[in-house]
Amino acid sequence: MTTTPNPCDLLVTGDLVLTLDPQGRTLTDGALAVVDRTIVDIGPADEVSPRWVPASSVGGSGRIAMPGLVNIHNHTPLMITRGMIEDIGFAPMYTPGIPQGHWLTEEDAYALSCLGMFELLRAGCTTVVDYYRYPQSCARAAAELGVRAVIAGRIHDAAPDALAAGRYEYSRAIGEASLAENAKLIADWNGHDGGRIRCDWAPHAPDTCSDDLLREVGKLAETHGGNVHTHLSQLPLEVDAVRARTGLTPPQLLDKLGLLNDRLIAAHCIHMDRPDIELCGKAGITVAHAPIGNAKGGRIAPIIELREAGARIALCTDTFSGDLIEAMRWAIAMQRINRQGTVLDARTVLDWGTQEGATALGMSDRIGSLEVGKRADIVLLDNRSPSLAPMVDGYGVLVHSASGHDVDTVIVDGRVVLSGGKLTLADGAAIVTRAQAVASALWKRAGRSPLQ
């Protein structure tokens, strides 16, 4: 008996489909049908394809389909410092002699955010957490290029010029302005395009925010819902400053102010002692682990200990690259150096870059794996890339050998936003040229003469 095929918006096929579903199914010659942004059918192509009449099709022979990657901590306008900051300092906000966030105009931030969103999509990141000054520029870039994004402002009341000179001077006016900016972002952008853009609250760090400001953000976030994004125990400077100001470690301070809980996504978590690790684990925070950033600073976060204590681990590239696959294998390598042994494996870090990030964001019912009922956020890799052979279990060669450049096509919310490595909704070459011009002008202001 044959049934009449139904119309669907998109049919995705591939030599392999890595579903990353709870059963860990990998389909050979698989297919997915998409209706109204959502996966409605998945299985062997010879079973799925006859059931549907697609409005369009992508994939086919030579493609591997997998869930879109979830990159859980970035500041795309800060890409202005990459390629330089790595060798002259660590966290840009604490470093003199480089372009600073408060020098940017809103249009500068937009130009740089477009560059960042382009690179992230190019490397298969379909969901991106991004927060910085002029957050509406980040939201606009993500909206226009088709990225799923969680956007927030950069809340702080430490004066940036004093901070770059090594002094902590708290200003009520700066704190109120950054709160107002985040509130306006939420009013203007939260829920945009069927929820593709979500907005949260993001206090910069326990040392760059006073106790009063952190308390205020905690109250606002409680009413708003979503996550609170921050940096935690990133630098010895931060730990020393918080201890001098409050007598507490940074996690102890956030705990006292009501922010250390399972809604907190805390980047770095490097400089933590055993009691800090236990406290963060017990609170069930998510660590936004940035292994490449850790390595560039010569430090390694104790993520295995944090995970054993109860914390969730998710992955990020934290601005300096968009390649989360590279970050996955760095996460493994860093811990093996740290622990002097074969700890972690490809499937574990692949989960950190997909399902664990989705769960941390409260989106595990929508993204993180390829399953019926989830949004169609799908990456197609080039199965003919030399980096992807030999394909044995599907996970090992992907994590240990592939890179973001093996990504050919990216689908977000059922819409093809990258095809053949090129953006479909914007001019990628123009984005790079515009961002270079912005960066050159700001580096000139910082006293450098950029190559042209």
Residue 76 or 355: which CB sits closer to Zn ion?
A: 76
Torsion of CA 362, 143, 328, 395, to 10 degrees: 80
Residue 216 or 318: which CB sits closer to Zn ion?
A: 318
Residue 185 or 267: which CB sits closer to Zn ion?
A: 267
Mapped onto helix, strand or coil, the DSSP state of residue 222 is helix
Kindly identify the residues of this chain, within the stretch 211-270, that bind Zn ion according to CB under 5 A.
Answer: 267
For the bound state, the minimum distance from the C-beta of residue 268 to Zn ion, rounded and expressed in Å, comes to: 8
Sign of CA dihedral 245, 248, 253, 256: negative
For the bound state, the minimum distance from the C-beta of residue 75 to Zn ion, rounded and expressed in Å, comes to: 6
Kindly identify the residues of this chain, within the stretch 286-325, that bind Zn ion according to CB under 5 A.
Answer: 318
- Contact (CB, 8 A) for 415 and 409: no
* Cα–Cα distance for residue pair 141/148, rounded to 1 Å: 11
Residue 202 or 380: which CB sits closer to Zn ion?
A: 202
String of contacts with Zn ion for each residue 267-286, x by CB under 5 A: x-------------------
- Contact (CB, 8 A) for 369 and 406: no
For the bound state, the minimum distance from the C-beta of residue 85 to Zn ion, rounded and expressed in Å, comes to: 12
For the bound state, the minimum distance from the C-beta of residue 267 to Zn ion, rounded and expressed in Å, comes to: 5
Which of 98, 132, 94, 96 has its CA nearest to residue 112?
132
DSSP calls for 252-303: HHHHHTT--STTEEEEE--S--HHHHHHHHHHTPEEEE-HHHHHHTT----H
Residue 268 or 366: which CB sits closer to Zn ion?
A: 268
Residue 255 or 318: which CB sits closer to Zn ion?
A: 318
* Cα–Cα distance for residue pair 252/275, rounded to 1 Å: 9
For the bound state, the minimum distance from the C-beta of residue 160 to Zn ion, rounded and expressed in Å, comes to: 15
User: Looking at this protein, which amino acid is placed at residue 111?
Assistant: A
For the bound state, the minimum distance from the C-beta of residue 156 to Zn ion, rounded and expressed in Å, comes to: 12
| Number of chain positions touching Zn ion (CB under 5 A) | 2
- Contact (CB, 8 A) for 175 and 211: no
For the bound state, the minimum distance from the C-beta of residue 229 to Zn ion, rounded and expressed in Å, comes to: 9
For the bound state, the minimum distance from the C-beta of residue 259 to Zn ion, rounded and expressed in Å, comes to: 17
* Cα–Cα distance for residue pair 237/242, rounded to 1 Å: 9
- Contact (CB, 8 A) for 222 and 228: no
For the bound state, the minimum distance from the C-beta of residue 45 to Zn ion, rounded and expressed in Å, comes to: 41
* Cα–Cα distance for residue pair 122/417, rounded to 1 Å: 10
Residue 67 or 251: which CB sits closer to Zn ion?
A: 251
Which token pair is 143? 């909206």
For the bound state, the minimum distance from the C-beta of residue 316 to Zn ion, rounded and expressed in Å, comes to: 8
Which token pair is 325? 């696959």
Residue 65 or 361: which CB sits closer to Zn ion?
A: 361
Residue 235 or 349: which CB sits closer to Zn ion?
A: 235
User: Looking at this protein, which amino acid is placed at residue 222?
Assistant: E
Which of 11, 29, 32, 8 has its CA nearest to residue 21?
32
Bridge partners of 411, per DSSP, are 378, 416
Radius of gyration, alpha carbons of the chain: 22
Residue 39 or 147: which CB sits closer to Zn ion?
A: 147
Which of 137, 125, 124 has its CA nearest to residue 76?
137
Give contact residues for Zn ion (rule: CB under 5 A). Answer: 267, 318
